[in-house]
Amino acid sequence: DTGVSQDPRHKITKRGQNVTFRCDPISEHNRLYWYRQTLGQGPEFLTYFQNEAQLEKSRLLSDRFSAERPKGSFSTLEIQRTEQGDSAMYLCASSRRQVVGPETQYFGPGTRLLVL
Amino acid sequence: AQTVTQSQPEMSVQEAETVTLSCTYDTSENNYYLFWYKQPPSRQMILVIRQEAYKQQNATENRFSVNFQKAAKSFSLKISDSQLGDTAMYFCAFMNTNAGKSTFGDGTTLTVKP
């Protein structure tokens, strides 16, 4: 399978705990994105990387959220001191930056987080 | 900031018929890209079709086509000969030409009835 993979697929945690999600992009893709999707809504942008550099962070990404992409390969998204409002689907997408024309983002299956 | 609005939360269509999903957006940019994504139940999101704003010709991909009205900032998706496998949530998305992130609408849930 050469698509975008995410781990774990489901996570249940108690409020106040820390959680970490992993995303493995398509191997030749240099851009990697994190989105959050709550029930009945479209994905909301959180942050993205080009190679190992984090180029943009949404205002949605509070201080409790941190993302890394060491060596420009896989990425991790950590949420510290989780709150019930963090319950959502966390989507990862990857793409190859195009010099001209739109890049196609390929999405992973997502990690569904439930904070009790 | 860009916004994307999908005014139809739910739609249904009979198998083999045609359905059109609506999308409007707001931007001050002149060059950008627009996308329709499909998210089947419990499955990952996939790209259906995309349109570059500088192209006047509407994009077509097999049974899927768009009606892009730049002045009206409208980008509707037409699905012809609907199939049961088209049942999914459909998202309209906007992307600036100089930024990779996408802004999504809240989606339209499409049900194709046999």
Using CB atoms within 10 Å of the CB of residue A99, give its burial: 0 to 12 exposed, 13 to 18 middle, 19+ buried: exposed
Among B45, B100, B104, the residue with its CB nearest the CB of A95 is: B100
Instruction: Tell me the pLDDT of chain A averaged across its residues.
Output: 92
B63 burial via Cβ count (<10 Å: 0-12, 13-18, 19+): middle
Asked if the model's pLDDT at residue A77 lies above 90, the reply is yes
Q: Can you read off the two tokens belonging to residue A1?
A: 């399978």
Rounded Cα gap, residues B43 and B77, in angstroms:
21
pLDDT tens digits, one per residue of A100-109? 777 889 999 9
Asked if B105 reaches chain A (Cβ–Cβ under 8 Å), the answer is yes
- Please work out, in degrees rounded to the nearest 5, the angle formed at the alpha carbon of residue B84 by the alpha carbons of B83 and B87: 105
Query: How far, in Å, CA of B82 to CA of B17, rounded?
Result: 5
| HSE toward the beta carbon, residue B104, CA cutoff 13 A | 25
Bond preceding residue A8 cis, omega within 30 of 0: yes
Mean pLDDT of A23-49: 93
E-state strands within chain B = 3-5, 10-14, 19-21, 24-26, 32-39, 46-52, 60-61, 64-69, 74-79, 88-96, 102-104, 108-113
pLDDT digits (tens, 9 = 90+) for B57-85: 999 999 999 999 999 999 999 999 999 99
A42, B43: Cβ pair inside 8 Å? Answer: no
Angle at A21 between CA A20 and CA A22, to 5 degrees: 125
Chain B residues within an 8 Å CB radius of A39: none
Contact, B39 vs B89, CB < 8 A? yes
Question: Is A1 a residue whose pLDDT tops 60?
Answer: no
Interval A80-103: pLDDT, tens: 999 999 999 999 999 987 777 778
Chain B residues with CB inside 8 Å of A31's CB?
100
The verdict on B1 touching A (C-beta cutoff 8 Å) is no
Low-confidence spans in chain B with pLDDT less than 70:
99
b/e map B40-55, b = 16+ CB within 10 Å: eeeebbebbbbbbbee
